[in-house]
Chain A
């Protein structure tokens, strides 16, 4: 009997030890993963990449997209790189995406992390170009507009607009990015002639705001607000009665 209980104690201790080892290791591991999963995504992904969380889950890190790219745009992030470990990304200032019509990187992906649903490269949203107007040559009044001319979705993703110049008769021609057409290919960033690119591609989540559906921009949509606009129905309350009090001056009581 004594021997049995000792064995049971040994068994329980050993089980607890093993459990503790696995649990503590597992917790550390979970922290590491959780941190990776929730880290702010700053990498620009290949065309057709799923939303960052789904992409990170689905990508098997095989690099077939990297090899399929004819321009050597894509890289697989090694350990210690800025992008999440082993996943494909590109740095537009070095080599942008040249927007192949047949999207070979997407075709090479075995998992669907680069979604097969992307059929036209112009529909891809790798990132969004943003302009630093303090350092953009055009915004300083020079005639540059290189980004506009290099843009593969020319005229739609980047337009050039008139902009008044202080105290001068001459207008400025300034580039503006339109998110509904910008694919985030980064050709503009690559082409920007300033020392540090004044137009840059970033993940849209990092820079894009959201107005909120309760704002009605009537002047943007003629059919929208004016047609079915009705003033709010008046709520009847005791306060709706003409104010009482001292109105004797008007009533000629004096």
Chain B
């Protein structure tokens, strides 16, 4: 142990707690931002594919690449895709959709059930760009919450969605969903939908931290339930963790980073984890890594990420 370590606090593993330091080099910075960059690239690429197919005739061998929007679409002319939550709402209005929609919903549902339900939220949903921007600005401007909404509220909204679908005979969330408004109007022509997006931005920025995505959105709640058994997880290598809590500071769902639970399971097991990868890149000890759920844990010798602790 060196002298610096004696001055610092020690983690439960006896190692010094080192704070995350943003690297000064561009390469280091890009490495910290890498999942953010991947996520934005994917989000924008998906919207661009829809837009390009619709407006610029993008195709592969005369077959349109992807027609429709994130509610339902057809990939390469024959693979149906559909929003499983929207399809469920339609069924709750007591209307049975055609097989094509059911198959599309099953494909999407299966995909997210495997790689993590809320991968939708942080890797695909276009609202994520708005709420991330609000969260970043809120941190920059040191804005405190106006009031606190429960993180469990979204499950009530989820139940309400299905209840109202049955009562009113309209797919309740689809008729007010700012997510659908956003991608629909980007792809099919702009109306007043941007006002809803502005609403989410201001709400998240000034009223409640992670208000929309983390507390209200029933689609996120739906995918949190879907992802409970998913295979792709954030692995947690307990012996290396010094409880520096850098991961909790960046996590939009901090409740999922329960260290004692994570140490037991060897991974973050909550369905509310969006697999966004923010925690991975700020962890100075490389404790957190993407991992496959059923891989037996490998206790590698503790290795740290010098770039993140020295700021080089």
Contacts and interface: CB of A to CB of B under 8 A. Distances in A.
A62 interface: yes
B150 interface: yes
Contacts of B196: 79
B195 interface: yes
Interface in B65-81: 67-69, 71-74, 80
Interface stretch (B124-132, B133-141, B181-189, B251-259): B181-189
Contacts of A77: 191
Given A60-B71, A110-B104, A80 B191 contact: yes
Interface stretch (A3-11, A63-71, A218-226): A63-71
B83 interface: yes
B97 A112 contact: yes
B101 A111 contact: yes
A111 B97 contact: yes
Nearest to A75: B189
B169 A37 contact: yes
A67 B157 CA distance: 33
Contacts of B149: 21
B99 to A, nearest CB: 9
Given A22-B156, A57-B90, A78 B191 contact: yes
B106 to A, nearest CB: 13
Interface stretch (A27-35, A204-212, A237-245): A27-35
A105 to B, nearest CB: 12
A22 B174 contact: no
Contact of B72 (A21, A75, A85, A111): A111
Nearest to A17: B150
Given A60-B90, A60-B101, A33 B164 contact: yes
A129 B261 CA distance: 67
A41 interface: no
A134 interface: no
B101 A33 contact: no
Interface in A18-73: 18, 21-22, 25-26, 29-30, 32-34, 36-37, 53-54, 56-58, 60-64, 66-68
A79 B156 contact: no
B93 A57 contact: yes
B255 to A, nearest CB: 17
A167 to B, nearest CB: 53
A121 interface: no
B168 A37 contact: yes
Contact of A60 (B82, B96, B169, B185): B82
A58 B176 CA distance: 15
A110 B101 contact: yes
A101 to B, nearest CB: 21
Interface in B164-180: 164, 167-172, 174-176, 180
B34 interface: no
A72 to B, nearest CB: 11
> Chain A: interface secondary structure?
helix
A141 interface: no
A130 interface: no
Contacts of A193: none
A58 B90 contact: yes
Nearest to A68: B67
B184 to A, nearest CB: 6
A22 B158 CA distance: 11
Contact of B160 (A29, A34, A57, A68): A29
B191 A29 contact: no
Nearest to A19: B156
Given A26-B160, A79-B181, A112-B97, A60 B188 contact: no
Contact of B95 (A29, A34, A37, A54): A54
Interface centre among A62, A67, A86, A116 (most CB of B within 10 A): A62
A76 B80 CA distance: 20
Interface in A76-116: 76-81, 85-86, 108-112, 116
A97 B68 CA distance: 20
Contacts of B176: 29, 32-33
Given A34-B168, A37-B168, A62 B174 contact: no
A79 B191 contact: yes
A119 to B, nearest CB: 15
Given A78-B185, A112-B97, 13 more contacts: A25-B157, A25-B160, A29-B176, A36-B175, A37-B169, A57-B93, A60-B72, A60-B87, A60-B90, A63-B188, A67-B68, A78-B188, A108-B67
Interface of B: 53-54, 64, 67-69, 71-74, 80, 82-83, 86-87, 90, 93-98, 100-101, 104, 149-150, 152-153, 156-157, 160, 163-164, 167-172, 174-176, 180-181, 184-185, 187-193, 195-196
21 contacts: A18-B150, A22-B156, A30-B167, A30-B168, A32-B176, A37-B170, A54-B95, A56-B170, A57-B93, A58-B95, A61-B71, A61-B184, A63-B69, A78-B181, A78-B185, A78-B192, A79-B192, A79-B193, A86-B180, A86-B184, A111-B98
